[in-house]
Structure 1
């Protein structure tokens, strides 16, 4: 199986998955490769993909049957387990297929997927991504990739300069990719927490949010400045009738993974604990996930 003969499938068309899959379909089309086959819980979310020449499939099992490489970008661990179980009980051969999950999942889930799929001759690659939905749409994500060496090598051409700007090679232990992704989320969420606290301080003291934001950009660079702008412009907490770029429920899931893993190693993450409590309060206020 080479990159020039691969048939590729996709499941999961949320704010991240749609941008990623669109970039992948454009790559396949421009290289005269078989079009992307895709599915989603709400299939109509893939209408833009269909318009770009991708082929919709009613069920995930159909995507698996017609693809050599199957990418998933899903909301939580339970969804991934459900999808893999569907593939396993469908009765079709999975030998030689590569399943690539780009979501944030628990290391134990990655290990579980590897164990289940390898018994059927398939490979599992954990490839969580770093970057928000605009970064996904621009094809500039960072991938943390772990899995069997041959499988990883096979999928690199579908990632580099297609969906991502770089790949961090985490070796063959799929738990390591999940751990790196969760570690990265600890940083991002903690940055948001401390920047939020500083901006509240600037507001109540009369210092001014704009001046602090300018300092953050000059001192710490554009990434942390962009985090600050999400807070001060209201993008981080949009109006109650507006969908967020990243659902609070997903952020809570990511934090719970980090907190549970830390607890299992007899350590604590105090900043993350604080951020988690604040996010729970926000979800209660919005009466929404």
Structure 2
């Protein structure tokens, strides 16, 4: 693989970014703050406006953004979107250039990711799986954690760029290991939120104040960064979505599929998936993951309804 700082650029690689959503936007802004040239594309053009206003160039298509770039980042919603972007007729993979590095920061399945890796490898391009862990606010402050797998040489070439976006960049293997790690972490976040809900339901039925319980949990041995981040939402039952239930369902279904492929029993995760299904039935898919903590209390609420 050619160094990304090849003859077409004098000092730093040209960067493309495809998919300017809640997480992609602050990461793009951090690249611009670091002085990098950036070309962006999103299928919803208005998503690009804040980044373009900060100095990025807007591409006419995803393929156009990739053609103008040495390193191409992507933040894509799901497997079908990933396959459509890279593997469809007119997709990016068919026009990828030898030496290009593609860095996908999405939460998608190892299976779909491996398909893209193979298609890019046939063109001499590299595919890095680099999902991030953290919130939108951590993305804005470049304090995300990043797990990266794929060709080690490509990782070394783009690590300075990843350092503009994340506080930690952990290389975890040559294939799709990073995908499995991200799904494992997300799965544990979802389970821990349900566990928190059981604790709150237990204390609430015994007469404890909700805010008191949340603070006590976070001051104890079971406190966590996740619980602390969600503390205000939990206290106030204000669940405006930073990571909506619809995304949680998508990620947990991916994890359960990987478990089935590997003959691993996940009874607690399967129960949490049932909780999420209950939320979907109540049209609560737009709420933040913190709302999952209220599900264990529903059956004990006097009217049987979510609060």
Same fold at TM > 0.5: yes
Aligned counterparts of 1:287 and 1:168: Cα–Cα separation in 2: 35
CA contact (8 A) 2:28 2:51 kept: yes
CA contact (8 A) 2:93 2:116 kept: no
1:279 match: 276
CA contact (8 A) 2:96 2:120 kept: no
Q: Provide structure 2 residue ranges, at least 5 long, that are not aligned to the other structure.
A: 6-10, 287-307
1:241 match: none
RMSD (Å), alpha carbons: 1.7
1:266 match: 263
Answering whether residue 111 of structure 2 is matched by residue 104 of structure 1, we say no
2:301 match: none
Aligned counterparts of 1:225 and 1:24: Cα–Cα separation in 2: 28
- Counterpart of 1:119 (choices 115, 122, 131) is 122
Cα deviation 1:126-160 (Å, max 9, x = unaligned): 00000011111111110000111111111100011
- Counterpart of 1:22 (choices 25, 29, 44) is 29
Aligned counterparts of 2:261 and 2:93: Cα–Cα separation in 1: 31
Q: Provide structure 1 residue ranges, at least 5 long, that are not aligned to the other structure.
A: 239-243
Cα deviation 1:166-194 (Å, max 9, x = unaligned): 01111212x11001101111111111110
Aligned counterparts of 2:132 and 2:166: Cα–Cα separation in 1: 9
Structure with greater proportional helix content: 1
1:197 match: 198
1:255 match: 252
Residue 232 of structure 1: how far off its partner (Å): 3.0
CA contact (8 A) 1:38 1:55 kept: yes
Give me the TM-score of the superposition, normalised by structure 1: 0.89
- Counterpart of 1:67 (choices 66, 69, 74) is 69
2:78 match: 76
**SS across alignment from 1:6:** coil
